[in-house]
Structure 1
Amino acid sequence: MKRIASQTSLGVTLLKIILPVCLIALGVTGFWYYKSKVVKFKRNPAVKTAPVVDIMKVNPSRVTAQIRAMGTVQADREVVIKSQVAGTVIQVAPEFVQGGLIRKGQLMVRIDPADYALAVNKAQSALAQAQADFEIEKGRQQIAREELKLMSMMSPNEVQETSLVLRKPQLEQAGAAVASAQSDLETARLDLERTRIIAPFHALVRSKEVDAGAMTAAQGALATLVDVTCYQVEVQVPLDRLDRIRVHETNGSPVRIRSLYAGREWDGRVVRTTGAVTEQSRMAGVIIRVDDPLGLGSAKGRPAMLLDDHVEALIEGQVFDNVFSLPRTLIREDSSLWIYKDGRLEIRKVAPVWIENDRVFIQSELSPGDLVVCSDLSAPVSGMAVTLALGESR
């Protein structure tokens, strides 16, 4: 029995040793078998390809700089009309209403002239009295001169002739009274004339302060008038663009003005600057003149311009000859352009002479017929090979 047990134990031990060895051998054999069956791929060397780009051929042209600015319509001349005499308003013109149009020389307001007409009559009477006194004094002076002559003939002693004896001071006093009475009459007539308030120019009544039946005091406000022969628009322009604008009273840069709300348009011209820079935006103030803003004269039929309207002004600035106009997106971050030349990329520094919205204008760094690369490149290097896209021609 011991022998059988010993043989069984030996068999189990051999099985534990032989089985793992067989499994390992089987695994190695399978690995080498499958490895011999793997398809081997042959790699070809990489072929370098040039980036494909789109191009744009450029040619020079004549360009007028356009400066856009925002502004507000203002009165070119605005005055407050005041009464120079006191009294009751007895008449106003039908056009004397807010927004009404008054012609130059038209009667706007009339103040009761009765008291001032009486003052004129009184002054005329005073002048007539003073003139009569002056004539009487002239006669007295003549009499005094004759009396002095007789006294000289009758008296053995020479009678001294003096200005007082000849009544010269009295005559001068009478003459001064005449002059004073004349001045009083002129003042009374002037006050009477001032009871008629006349429009000093062709005007728009912006506001009125009195109506018929109202009492007005001397220096009391009657109305605010705006000259309608021209308006002005004040716009703000960046300082670096101010030099491109022609400022002149009669030959300034032309301007096209458009209302932001109504879409109406008018023509104007740049006449002057405000002479100051705005405190917050640090921009220059520019004044644009608009003639006949209400379309009453030569521009009859044109839409009326409204005061305080917000407008956009398109100013025609400097004219550039032989400049190249390009989309602003073609200017790279380092202020350069990519040029296609004989299959190579050329990186060329540029300095635009004018930038306007989405366009840039270049004058000296390009030549007619240059091919500007429009495509983006991930790693552009000057001299690198590039290929034109299909359909592109040189």
Structure 2
Amino acid sequence: MTRSPRKWVVIIPVLIGVAALMFLKRGQQPPVQEEARERARLVRVIPAPEMDVIPRARGFGNVVPAHTWEGVARVKGEIIEKHPELEKGAILPAGTLLLRIDPADYELAIAEAEASLAATRAQLQELERKIANTRSSLAIEQEKLALARKELERKRRLAGKGGVSRSDLETQERTLLAQKQSVQAQQNTLNLFPSQRALLQAQLQREQTKLDSARRNLEHTRIVLPFTGRIAAVNVERYQYVREGKVMVAADTLETAEVEAQIPLQEMSYLIRSDKVIESLRGTARQPDLPLQAAVRLREGDLDVRWKARFSRLSDTLDPKTRTVGVIVTVDDPYGNVRPGVRPPLLKGMFVEVDLSSEPMRKRLVVPRLSLHGDRLYLVDGDGRLQIRRVKRGLVQPDFVVIDEGLKAGEQVVVSDLVPAVEGMLLETTEDRDLLQRLRRAVGGDGTDR
């Protein structure tokens, strides 16, 4: 009887708990099922602009003077004079006497040549006098011959009448023959004068040539700077003996400088696609005059200096390893507008950047280079979803790419780094106006959509 109450003590609380649980389940509402919503990804976009694109190419090279000059010794001798400022790096004006070689030997050579020339001229004058005298003598002898002929005719007439003996007639005939011989001798002498004159004239020309050569050698004893320039090398000193052919001094011009920059062939190909460039390359063997604009830029530490340049010519070779072509540009007045610490002169040996640009490409679609993924663009369609489209690219520049096919003006181009990019995914867009402005500046157009 003692066990039965204990059993009910355990069973009754269990039954009460089960009954409470059933009551709670009966009054509970069924769970509400909500439809799953797609979350949109936030991306930056720009409308595809249509602008006039200026093709550009960039290369690097070293500055060299457009013209260099070497003072080569054309005569031998001792250096007796040297300009006090003739040192490497000095800037000297045009016409400066840099060096002088001892002129004594060449002054003596001039004196000797002048004396020989004077002697030959005297001989030629003497010959002319002889010619005049001989002609006068010939005229006299010819008159005497005429008289002898008349006398012979007179005696022949008298001999026919018996007035003159035969011996007198023969004597007159011998006199006539002697006179003829005298005339012929004068004529022979006169005939020799032209050859003698020609010989003396040739000798006179030879002596004049010697004099000109001696005077030229005397001029070569003076080494004069032909243009305003910076001295690049000095290889002689005063009292030093030099021989012909020795390079005594070298100088670089300050008027113009050149830079040969290596431009990638692909970039260069876009610069020469305009009609003006094609016309300049057609049917000519000379160096083409390409309508290209150029600038030289120096970036060194805090310095960022630009010089206006002009396209000069193409180099003679193509580098097959780097696939680059040499382009030579010229900078006028590389030492102009110098400001210490702000704008240095364009010195020989500087490593600089060369920017080239060509005629604008009209109404081209451009996108930032970072927005192109291989040959595909990420676009936002009219439903706000991602569209991955294959496009054909054209001109490729460091900051932008020209799209030739597969894109329309105004379409929304995704410029965010979208990872992962799933075709058809929902996007929330915000226009990146700053990137669009930077794109317009990089393209080089007028900054307005076309």
| Equivalence for 2:6 | none
**Partner SS, residue 138 of structure 1:** helix
Structure 2: runs of 5+ lacking an equivalent? 1-17, 146-175, 278-287, 433-450
Question: Normalising to structure 2: TM-score of the pair?
Answer: 0.69
Cα separation, 1, equivalents of 2:267 and 2:65: 26
> Is the aligned partner of 1:240 residue 2:282?
no
Please show how residues 123-134 of structure 1 align to structure 2 within 5 Å.
123-134=113-124
Shift of 1:300: 5.7
Q: Is the 8 A contact 2:375 2:393 kept in 1?
A: no
Match of 1:289 among 322, 330, 333: 330
Matched, 1:206 2:227: no
Q: How does 1:298-377 map to 2 (within 5 A)?
A: 299=337, 301=339, 303-362=344-403, 365-375=406-416, 376=418
Q: Is 1:78 aligned to residue 104 of structure 2?
A: no
Q: Which residue does the alignment assign to 1:167?
A: 193
Paired letter, 1:386: L
For 2:421 and 2:407, the matched residues in 1 are separated by 23
Per-residue deviation, 1:193: 1.5
- Cα gap change, 1:120 to 1:389, in 2 (>3 Å): closer
SS at match of 1:275: strand
Letter in 2 for 1:378: P
Task: Give yes or no for the alignment of 1:380 onto 2:431.
Answer: no
Distance 1:52 1:72 in 2: 50
Are residues 204 and 252 of structure 1, via their aligned partners in 2, closer, same or farther at CA, if it must alter by over 3 Å? Answer: farther
Runs of 4+ in structure 1 deviating by more than 6 angstroms, as ranges, are none
What amino acid does structure 2 have at the position aligned with 1:276?
T
The 1:318–1:348 alpha-carbon spacing in structure 2 relative to 1, beyond 3 Å, is: farther
Partner of 1:275: 316
Rounded to whole Å, the distance in 1 between the matches of 2:430 and 2:299 is 47
Tell me if structure 2 keeps the 8 A contact 1:245–1:253: no
Q: What residue number does 2:45 align with?
A: 56
Give the alignment partner of residue 219 of structure 2, picking from 180, 193, 196.
193
Structure 1 residues 221 and 333, CA, compared in 2 at 3 Å: closer, same or farther?
closer
Aligned equivalents of 1:387, 1:187: Cα separation in 2: 90
Give 1:287 shift: 0.6
Pair 300,372 (structure 1): closer, same or farther in 2 beyond 3 Å? closer
Q: Percent identity?
A: 25
For residue 67 of structure 1, what is the aligned residue in structure 2?
57
- Which residue does 2:99 correspond to in 1? 109
Sort the Cα spacing of 1:149 and 1:303 in 2 relative to 1 into closer, same or farther, 3 A.
same
| Correspondence for 1:252 | 292
For residue 306 of structure 1, report the CA deviation from its aligned partner: 1.6
Measured in 2, the distance between the counterparts of 1:368 and 1:250 equals 32
Residue 370 of structure 1 aligns with an amino acid whose one-letter code is: E
Q: Return closer, same or farther for 1:391/1:164 CA change in 2, 3 Å cut-off.
A: closer
Contact 1:108-1:198 within 8 A present in 2 as well: yes
**Do 2:110 and 2:214's aligned partners in 1 also have CA atoms closer than 8 Å?**
yes
Deviation, structure 1 residue 82: 0.5
Q: Which has the higher contact order (CA 8 A, sep 6+)?
A: 2
Amino acid at match of 2:225: A
Higher helix share: 2
Deviation at 1:48, TM superposition (A): 5.7
1:219 Cα deviation from its structure 2 partner: 1.9
The alpha carbon displacement at 1:250 in A equals: 9.0
Aligned to 2:125: 135
Does 2:88 match 1:47? Answer: no
Greater Cα offset, 153-162 or 344-353: 153-162
Contact 2:291 2:358 in 1 (8 A): no
**Inter-partner Cα distance in structure 2 for 1:336 and 1:389:** 16
Residue in structure 1 matching 2:250, options 221, 224, 229: 224
Superposed CA RMSD in Å reads: 3.3
SS of the residue corresponding to residue 386 of structure 2 reads strand
Inter-partner Cα distance in structure 2 for 1:62 and 1:218? 61
Q: Post-superposition shift, 1:391?
A: 9.6
